[in-house]
Amino acid sequence: LNKKYPDVFFQGVKKPFKSVIDVSSGDPHKAGMPPISFIRQVMAVCLYPELLKEKSLPLDVRQRAQKLLDMCSGGSVGSYSTTSIGLPEVQKSISEFITRRDGGVLSHPEDIILTIGSQKGLSVFLNLLTSGEGKTQTGVLTPMPCPHTLPMLLDMTGLALVPYRLFEEQGWAVNLDELHRALEAGRVHCEPKAIYISNPGNPTGYVQDRETIEKVIRFAATNCLIILAEEVHQGSVYGQDKEFISYKKVLSEMGKTYAETMELVSFHSISTAYIGECGLRGGYMEVVNIDPAVKKCLNFTPSAPVLPQLALELSLNPPRPEDSSYNSYTQVRGLSYALEFLNRVEGMSCQPSMAGPFLYPRVHLPPHMVEEAKRLGVKADVLYCQRLLEEEGICVGAGCENGQEDKNYHIRHRYLLIDNKINQFHRSFCEAMLTG
Amino acid sequence: LNKKYPDVFFQGVKKPFKSVIDVSSGDPHKAGMPPISFIRQVMAVCLYPELLKEKSLPLDVRQRAQKLLDMCSGGSVGSYSTTSIGLPEVQKSISEFITRRDGGVLSHPEDIILTIGSQKGLSVFLNLLTSGEGKTQTGVLTPMPCPHTLPMLLDMTGLALVPYRLFEEQGWAVNLDELHRALEAGRVHCEPKAIYISNPGNPTGYVQDRETIEKVIRFAATNCLIILAEEVHQGSVYGQDKEFISYKKVLSEMGKTYAETMELVSFHSISTAYIGECGLRGGYMEVVNIDPAVKKCLNFTPSAPVLPQLALELSLNPPRPEDSSYNSYTQVRGLSYALEFLNRVEGMSCQPSMAGPFLYPRVHLPPHMVEEAKRLGVKADVLYCQRLLEEEGICVGAGCENGQEDKNYHIRHRYLLIDNKINQFHRSFCEAMLTG
């Protein structure tokens, strides 16, 4: 892993490890995992169409590349995207993916807006929600813990974060009573107009069931909240008897009143697949029941980049069993499955994750350590992460970045074979704190 | 050209041409021109590194791909960009390009912000300038004619367009008296805080000389205007004895007072090279003397897409004479040179263009045609463009899109071998109008 890193120095001091392993974000390539050949091969052919003649590349790769090139103006990835929200043929292909995924519930190409990753789409939409100040400031109901980039995004956009807690002892499920409490509490200082949902949950890995989703939709409808459904980990559910059900599907099966009026935006991205392609920045929003005038404002750039659209199309429509690339593609998926069950680290406790790339274990820190952190002016989970980085070269995320602000401490890390190192560190860290 | 278009129908009526040729934008690939192999080959290898072993690809292509991969986290284009404004090594490479271009005037990597095309960068910067309303609304001095996407962009951002005219009879040069007039006129209804410069001029093809640039800088300094220098056609100057001189270079040679205080942002893009790569959306802003706090707000996306950065790096650092791809690269450049001198179309008059992909000829329309357009409720240049599209299948841009609102009419089109068609159309159009 990361064999290219030189010896690591920190402020001139040589560190006791050869390289830094960053597992704080869901970036598999940074951590040294190889990409899925199929996606990369097709994109290489799209960029350099001479490779269409290259017989050493699988036939389905070349056929797929030709199909994607035909979606581009002038048959080239170098021409502007036909419309600023995306290539019409890509919009169509994505809506077909969604219709398949949702068992026939129709998705409309004109509701698909191509984005540079899900976060960019979200930030554009949040911008449109921004208004007021003080008690009239727009608020967004936000799960705690939440994706670690969300609190800053809300802050930068000028929106009030209205926290609703997910309870660890309930496996991080959404709790309706807590939603009501949070809304009332939020209304004291702002005007909540949207609810942010992360399903499967980031960083918790919790997958919502149909009943919960129905309740959340009714709650949002009663309280005039737009639903912002971050569903980027939909493709990596592995919990036993768990399945991803989209908010869109449930909504459209709750009868006309809900199906035709509730405003819903669903976000997806290629950064979050089994082997996500984070650097390519492909994503989409599906906007349901959103006013056409608002949709018009969602064009995030004068012309949507072409390559991320193609990568997204590929990622959502992988090779089929009859395609020559099918076997190699499914092998890679199997590999990432193998990483999914490294669940418990000694000295910590962790809710079983059902989906997504993260583990979010609770670290049990003795009170004197919390005191020590206070003395140093940092949060205890941040101190823990700093020491883990300095001593083992492993970079994990502190739970406070995910908005977790209670007396318990958490860390967030991507599945990797680092658990033993963390285990050792945790023990010696707690011991050093006792004696130090 | 566009041989893949089917027969063209308009509201069910078959048209007298086989395909539509769109030369209204500067998009060469849409118009059927082949890409530069070198750029596409290197990018294909970056996406699918197995091709590093492919001996049929030139050695310098594979070496360059390896160099670019080394700039990426984990050696993969699939990992997140290290910082949200770009890969540090790409920033460094671009600043080196600028330093070379400006004959040694230093450019600093931390002043380079990677963008998804120049327009996206511009729109982010304009957003930061937006404030006030009515007489306190921020205004931007804007050339007329200007890039055809600019008026809408200013409008959408909530900025007041303060027009300064470029005069056709002066070859579309910037006129200092006109700048003073425009500023005074603008101050009546808004607060001008920036001046937008297009050099080489879009769509005029005019290249500014050092003396003019100095005067514009002094004018901007005296009046506390930020200079927004759109310099995207810097790489395609072909007018005799004309050379591109950057605003940055002139500024830094005008002495400390100017060099260390004048706020300047220069925009560049890969969409506008000889054979631009519009769909890849690569660009940068160089921000000079901009407050660090403002720079911090210029991160346009949570993580800059990686591929556009690599395409930009390649485009600014083409093969050198000693590289195996050098010959094929310069041949393609030669081809695009050959298109540059198709300058005059009968029945029109056109200032000689010195740079960039556009011609911006004046179309001399008889008064009764202008009346006819008025009767139909359209602008005369728009009517002209509509008819040219319907009758010949050629799509050119109407001058009014470039903000041109005087009694003269213009069209904007990319160099292509269509002049004879336009010539024939122009004659029959004017005749039909006389008899019709």
Which contiguous run of DSSP H or E holds residue B422? helix B419-435
Residue A4 lies in a domain: no
Is A217 found in the same domain as A307?
Answer: yes
Which contiguous run of DSSP H or E holds residue B221? helix B210-222
Positions of E strands within A23-137: 112-115
**Dihedral of CA A394/A398/A401/A402: which sign?**
positive
Among residues of chain A, what percentage have pLDDT more than 70? 90
Note the helical H segments in B240-379: 247-252, 256-259, 292-296, 306-316, 326-338, 367-376
Note the helical H segments in A289-376: 292-296, 306-316, 326-338, 367-376
Residue A3 lies in a domain: no
Residue with tokens 């001399």: B364
Assess B401–A contact: CB distance below 8 Å, yes or no.
no
Positions of E strands within A63-205: 112-115, 138-144, 160-165, 191-198
Residue A143 lies in a domain: yes
Question: Residue B72 carries which DSSP code?
Answer: S
For A66-107, the pLDDT digits (tens) are 999 999 998 999 998 878 789 999 999 999 999 999 999 999
Residue A1 lies in a domain: no
Q: Please state which of the ranges A112-116, B221-225, B332-336 shows the lowest mean pLDDT.
A: B332-336
Residue B4 lies in a domain: no
Is B180 found in the same domain as B164?
Answer: yes
Q: Give B32's contacts in chain A (Cβ within 8 Å).
A: 74
Is B250 found in the same domain as B153?
Answer: yes
For B66-80, the pLDDT digits (tens) are 999 999 998 999 998
Bridge partners, A395 (sequence order): A22
Is B304 found in the same domain as B202?
Answer: yes
Which residue among A80, A149, A301 sits closest to B27, beta carbon to beta carbon?
A80
Is B197 found in the same domain as B254?
Answer: yes
DSSP of A403-426: T--SSSEEEEEE--TTHHHHHHHH
**Chain B residue nearest residue A301, CA to CA:** B120
Q: Which of A413-422, B87-96, B387-396 has the highest mean pLDDT?
A: B87-96
SS3 for B78?
coil
Q: Which of A230, A307, A309, A416 to mutate to test the interface with B (most CBs of B within 10 A)?
A: A307
Q: Please state which of the ranges A199-203, B42-46, B171-175, B414-418 shows the lowest mean pLDDT.
A: B414-418
Say if the Cβ atoms of B117 and A303 lie within 8 Å: yes
What does residue B200 show for φ and ψ, rounded to 5 degrees? Answer: -55, 145
Among residues of chain B, what percentage have pLDDT more than 90? 57
When comparing pLDDT for A25 and A274, which is higher?
A25
Query: Tell me, what amino acid is at A24?
Result: S
pLDDT of A45 strictly over 70: yes
**What value does the mean pLDDT take over residues A409-424?**
72
Distance (Å, whole) CA A105 – CA A98 = 8
Residue A306 to residues A64, B33, B123, B278: CA-CA distances in angstroms?
A: 16, 17, 19, 9
pLDDT value at residue A81: 86
Q: If we measure between CA atoms, which residue out of A265, A256, A255, A253 comes closest to residue A290? A: A265
Residue A2 lies in a domain: no
* Mean pLDDT rounded to a whole number for chain A: 87
Among residues of chain A, what percentage have pLDDT more than 90? 57
**Domain containing residue A295:** 81-316
Question: Last residue of some domain: B334, B361, B394?
Answer: B334
Question: Last residue of some domain: B285, B301, B334?
Answer: B334
**Chain A residue nearest residue B38, CA to CA:** A48
Q: If we measure between CA atoms, which residue out of B163, B90, B161, B153 comes closest to residue B122? A: B153
Whether residue B395 contacts residue B341, with contact meaning beta carbons closer than 8 Å, is answered with no
Is A299 found in the same domain as A197?
Answer: yes
CATH number of the domain to which A66 belongs: 1.10.287.1970
pLDDT value at residue A175: 97
For B4-49, the pLDDT digits (tens) are 334 455 566 777 777 777 778 778 888 777 888 999 999 999 999 9
SS3 for A155?
helix
Is B158 found in the same domain as B256?
Answer: yes
Whether residue A363 contacts residue A348, with contact meaning beta carbons closer than 8 Å, is answered with yes
DSSP of A183-238: HHHHHTTSEEEEEEEESS-TTT-----HHHHHHHHHHHHHTT-EEEEE-TTTT-B-
**Chain A residue nearest residue B73, CA to CA:** A30
CATH number of the domain to which A197 belongs: 3.40.640.10
Question: Residue B260 carries which DSSP code?
Answer: T
Is A204 found in the same domain as A122?
Answer: yes
Assess A58–B contact: CB distance below 8 Å, yes or no.
no
pLDDT of B333 strictly over 60: no
Q: How many CA atoms lie within 13 A of A395 on its CB side?
A: 11
Residue B157 lies in a domain: yes
Give the contacts of B56 (CB within 8 A, at least 6 positions apart): none
When comparing pLDDT for A345 and B400, which is higher?
B400
For B122-152, the pLDDT digits (tens) are 998 999 999 999 999 999 999 999 999 999 9
Say if the Cβ atoms of B280 and A77 lie within 8 Å: yes
**Chain A residue nearest residue B28, CA to CA:** A79
Q: Give B117's contacts in chain A (Cβ within 8 Å).
A: 301-303
**What value does the mean pLDDT take over residues A292-303?**
77
Tally Cβ neighbours within 10 Å of residue A6: 7
Assess B40–A contact: CB distance below 8 Å, yes or no.
yes
Whether residue A432 contacts residue A44, with contact meaning beta carbons closer than 8 Å, is answered with no
Q: Which pLDDT band, with edges at 50, 70 and 90, does A338 fall under?
A: very low
Assess A77–B contact: CB distance below 8 Å, yes or no.
yes
For A116-137, the pLDDT digits (tens) are 888 888 998 999 999 999 999 9
pTM (2 decimals)? 0.87
Whether residue B196 contacts residue B146, with contact meaning beta carbons closer than 8 Å, is answered with yes
pLDDT value at residue B5: 38
By DSSP bridging, strand A264-269 and strand A226-230 are parallel
pLDDT of B342 strictly over 50: no
| Per-residue burial over B381-393, b = 16 or more CB atoms within 10 Å of its CB, e = otherwise | bbbbbeebbebbb
By DSSP bridging, strand A138-144 and strand A160-165 are parallel
Among residues of chain B, what percentage have pLDDT more than 70? 90
Whether residue B278 contacts residue A80, with contact meaning beta carbons closer than 8 Å, is answered with yes
For B99-124, the pLDDT digits (tens) are 999 999 999 999 999 998 888 889 98
Q: Cis ω on the peptide bond leading into residue B58 (within 30° of 0)?
A: no
Assess B362–A contact: CB distance below 8 Å, yes or no.
no
Domain count, chain B: 3
pLDDT of B367 strictly over 50: yes
Is B269 found in the same domain as B138?
Answer: yes
Say if the Cβ atoms of B305 and A81 lie within 8 Å: no
Q: Which of A56, A277, A281 to mutate to test the interface with B (most CBs of B within 10 A)?
A: A281
CA dihedral A55, A61, A66, A68 (to 10 degrees): -160
**Dihedral of CA B355/B356/B357/B359: which sign?**
negative
Q: How far is B47 from chain A (nearest CA, A)?
A: 5
Q: Which pLDDT band, with edges at 50, 70 and 90, does A337 fall under?
A: very low
List all residues of chain A from 270 to 299 with a beta carbon under 8 Å from chain B. 271, 275-281
Q: If we measure between CA atoms, which residue out of A290, A370, A363 comes closest to residue A112? A: A290
Distance (Å, whole) CA B97 – CA A324 = 44
Is B67 found in the same domain as B177?
Answer: no
For A225-253, the pLDDT digits (tens) are 999 999 999 988 877 789 999 999 999 99
pLDDT value at residue B300: 59
When comparing pLDDT for B420 and B81, which is higher?
B81
> How far, rounded to the nearest angstrom, does the alpha carbon of residue A278 sit from its chain's CA centroid?
10
pLDDT value at residue B416: 56
Say if the Cβ atoms of A79 and B29 lie within 8 Å: yes
**What value does the mean pLDDT take over residues B393-415?**
85
When comparing pLDDT for B266 and A117, which is higher?
B266
Q: Which of B55, B303, B310, B416 to mutate to test the interface with A (most CBs of A within 10 A)?
A: B303
pLDDT value at residue A434: 62
Whether ipTM > 0.95 holds is no
Q: Cis ω on the peptide bond leading into residue B203 (within 30° of 0)?
A: yes
Residue B421 lies in a domain: yes
Query: Tell me, what amino acid is at A287?
Result: V
What does residue B226 show for φ and ψ, rounded to 5 degrees? Answer: -75, 140
pLDDT of A4 strictly over 70: no
Assess B268–A contact: CB distance below 8 Å, yes or no.
no
Is A88 found in the same domain as A44?
Answer: no
SS3 for B129?
helix
**Chain B residue nearest residue A307, CA to CA:** B280
pLDDT of A264 strictly over 90: yes
**What value does the mean pLDDT take over residues B236-247?**
89
Assess B307–A contact: CB distance below 8 Å, yes or no.
yes
Question: Last residue of some domain: B282, B301, B334?
Answer: B334
| The pair of three-digit structure tokens given for residue A392, joined into one six-digit string | 């083992």
Q: Give B67's contacts in chain A (Cβ within 8 Å).
A: none
CATH number of the domain to which B389 belongs: 3.90.1150.10
Return the CA Rg of chain A.
23
By DSSP bridging, strand A191-198 and strand A138-144 are parallel
Is B138 found in the same domain as B222?
Answer: yes
What does residue B115 show for φ and ψ, rounded to 5 degrees? Answer: -135, 165
**What value does the mean pLDDT take over residues A415-434?**
69
Return the CA Rg of chain B.
23
